[in-house]
Structure 1
């Protein structure tokens, strides 16, 4: 058997170099388009293409010149470059469309269109915001469903709101930093850019988006965006000059829990001493969106009332938590000046009676659970006596004028089998209570009321209990937290722009479910691999013709 020597001449080297140059150049350009920039593999492909072209020029200069100008292969050269151009155009078009987040709602009920209220809020977005969702490999379907919804926000803001999805199992440290401990946890944050041009999450603005049982909801997402936009623009003061509850107290009787929650929502908090302001002849600070009076123990003097009146006339708001008190000269007791002021100007007042409810209570008739909620207000919109009950301990009855000077109304009332105990002495010393006519008040009785002077913008929210927001109580009943947060939001105008009925979005995957990874594989095969194979076959045919 004879082994013939394999001879390779310069022309063959040039031909192989041309093939390598063409393939490397095509892959490099497509990779650049796909990645949106130059990476190490892309640079390696482009360098290979340049080196291969130089080898082709040196090894077979005549063939190179003929490739560019030869008449017999002019049409073949045009076909080669036409194929390259076609592949590039198709790849570029696919990538542009895939990254453009183009959406088209063709459903009859406009199910995938944001409401006008959401679009109005999104018009205020003027810096980059990131939606970050955490989904592991078992929640790919949920991620794709949520992505349909999040895309609407990205489209509506022309990309100022972007989205990113993270697998908590692959990046546990990042998930821990976000506080993502469950599938489907979604967060909002601003995006900052460092000196190198890299985008990073601003963890100082990080906020979790509440999730309803059933999927993404427009109201929750839009309100979360609005809270992010409003962060740092609202200031709430705690009045501490009359012995009220301390917002920094971490004990069970303190308010540190709700205080921290307000700060985490972007609300600036501070304290003010009303007697000191009145004594110095100073007004309420102009940046006060709301003043919280949490269980003041002593009655207000007239100069202090004058300071509050001037503040309310300018559109201020008060959140008054008026416990049943057993001391002399107690806050909002009977005919005290401030109680009369609230009745005269807002049609609400506190009564000298503790609510005793024999039907709707937790352990004793003094631990009352809200029996009925009037849900026609922003404060009570999310209150549900069954799913999110309020729990008050030794609650004070509050009153509403049926012929009020301004708009007002009840929020929470007790059951019909309740009454208002007016004998504070026996209640405090003997823990004894029994309905006695005509001194005691018949039920049902209100425990929370509101008033709003729409001419001046002044608002008052009066609740006959302060225990419900203390550290020991606020976490014990969902309704307690809802009542407080809704109250602060209404008084300060925190969420007033988002009063809409949430749109109905599909919360199940499409009938044909294709993951992003599968879609990328399909795109690679149809956009790159198949045209590339046709190009390689064409180059082979062209090479055979050239050798002839």
Structure 2
């Protein structure tokens, strides 16, 4: 009887030992395979350790080798580890990314060739064109912006209307300024030029796009005609209006330029009553997560953007015009035509029922060209306070994609990099070996040892 009991215990102990050894072997094998793999899984909330879609696209569009030269000075805090970790993410997307590290104090050839003025500079050399990333400009945003410039043979020009109270690219005011848009355009290979639109009788032919953002005075008739002629010849326009304009003629002048396409701005203030489709604190700030199908919105479906103090886009597209509603309010929204006090925005008789389009794109064939227009019912959608670093919603992506679509850069539309991001932990081969030993051998080994000791004690003292 006692012998049977000991035999059963021995078999149970042997089985436990075998299972433990198998699990230990599996853990060791998994760690070794993981250490040799280039695949990674980013579990951070904002995908901080993953390149943004625009960065991935920029890397994958390389058709020749991109020589990346890190000219570092040996020493702590030289930025080398972070820079090389980031470069590695791009290299994982394209075999054309070739990196070499040089000592800035010993490599006089590269220092002279690229006119290096500061140590710890990263050089990007592509098809005979170069970009220098100094130590303060070595984030993902900077790297991708440099790639886009190197890859592009064309720099679209955005002519920015000024002189009639429009929002300005140089205005850094958080509430009204558009300096954030200027920064976005510069980093995505656009150039800009101010245009005194009230003084022109024709839009310059080198304007790839025209932006008219919330004028506070009516455009003169010659300017309206100039915009109309520009669009009829295949021009591109981004136009934004506001509700309750101080001078109704302002909205009317914008609508006159848009009349050939059948749409215009109502001028009424949209109020959103659906709590899931607006800012939690303000019914005059509609929120959108479901967008119309367009290259502009492909990458932001399901992501929220806000349209503060918006007016509705109304009308029926003319024959031959393809209109795509990009952002729409709920069926319970309504529009107030005449100004009221902020405390008196509840629905009253005469208010128009929704839903309303508050952002829409238009396209029409114009000979061998295509006329493209993006209409937005609020200029606030891209003011500084709605863009990073002040706001992390999708207004930035929506604004940038609009400019790219107007420039007929549909293939480049992708979510741009985050301004700040974490980088993967860079480990030396020794670090990796130590980590594998601890997680794959030492810890499981301690578990096995503990199990064996428990089994032995039970055998001896039972």
Q: Tell me if structure 1 keeps the 8 A contact 2:163–2:196.
A: yes
Alignment of 1:36-47 (within 5 A): none
- Please list every run of 5 or more consecutive structure 2 residues that lacks an aligned counterpart in the other structure: 1-56, 72-78, 104-116, 415-426, 433-462
Q: Residues 335-414 of structure 1: matches in 2 within 5 Å?
A: 336-345=252-261, 347-359=262-274, 360-362=277-279, 363-374=281-292, 376-385=293-302, 388-399=303-314, 401=316, 404-414=319-329
1:430 to 1:411, Cα distance in 2 relative to 1, 3 A: closer
Match of 1:250 in 2: 172
Distance change in 2, residues 1:237/1:176 (3 Å): farther
Query: Which protein is bigger by CA-based radius of gyration?
Result: 1
Q: Find the counterpart in structure 2 of residue 130 from structure 1.
A: 68
RMSD, aligned α-carbons? 4.3
Q: Distance in 2 between matches of 1:330 and 1:342?
A: 14
Gap change, CA 1:277 and 1:122, over 3 Å in 2: same
CA contact (8 A) 1:391 1:477 kept: no
- Per the TM alignment, residue 369 of structure 1 is displaced from its structure 2 partner at its CA by 1.2
Q: Are the equivalent residues in 2 in contact too, given 1:412–1:446 (CA < 8 A)?
A: yes
Q: Which residue of 1 aligns with 2:346?
A: 434
Distance 1:200 1:290, change over 3 A: closer
Q: Confirm or deny that 1:458 pairs with 2:382.
A: no
* Aligned match of 1:320: 239
State the match for 1:308 in structure 2: 227
Does structure 2 retain, via aligned residues, the 8 Å contact 1:354–1:420? Answer: yes
Deviations 1:135-186 (A, max 9, x none): 749x98x987764433x335xxxxxxx334799xxxxxx99977xxxxxxxx
SS, match of residue 260 in structure 2: helix
TM-score by length of 2: 0.61
Ranked by relative contact order (alpha carbons within 8 Å, sequence separation 6 or more), the top structure is 2
Kept in 2: contact 1:392–1:468 (CA 8 A): yes
2-structure distance, mates of 1:471, 1:119: 29
Aligned equivalent of 1:163: 99
* Cα distance in 1, alignment partners of residues 249 and 67 from structure 2: 49
Q: Give the superposition deviation at 1:497.
A: 3.7
State how far apart, in whole Å, the 2-side matches of 1:131 and 1:443 are. 57
Match of 2:96 in 1: 153
Q: What's the TM-score, normalizing by structure 1?
A: 0.52
Gaps of 5+ in 1: 1-116, 155-161, 168-173, 179-186, 212-219, 501-512, 519-548
User: Going by fraction, where is strand more abundant, 1 or 2?
Assistant: 2
- 1: CA distance between counterparts of 2:335 and 2:120? 50
Change (3 A) 1:435 1:270: same
SS in 1 for 2:230: helix
- Separation in 2 of the partners of 1:326 and 1:482? 27
The corresponding residue for 2:11 is: none
1:76 match: none
CA deviation string 1:473-531 (max 9, x = no partner) = 223242111111111111123x334479xxxxxxxxxxxx996999xxxxxxxxxxxxx
Give aligned pairs, total: 336
Q: Provide the secondary structure at the position in 1 that maps to 2:223.
A: helix
**Per-residue deviation, 1:209:** 4.3
SS of the aligned residue for 1:305 comes to helix
Task: Determine if contact 2:170/2:182 at 8 Å carries over to the other structure.
Answer: yes
The structure that is helix-richer by fraction is 1
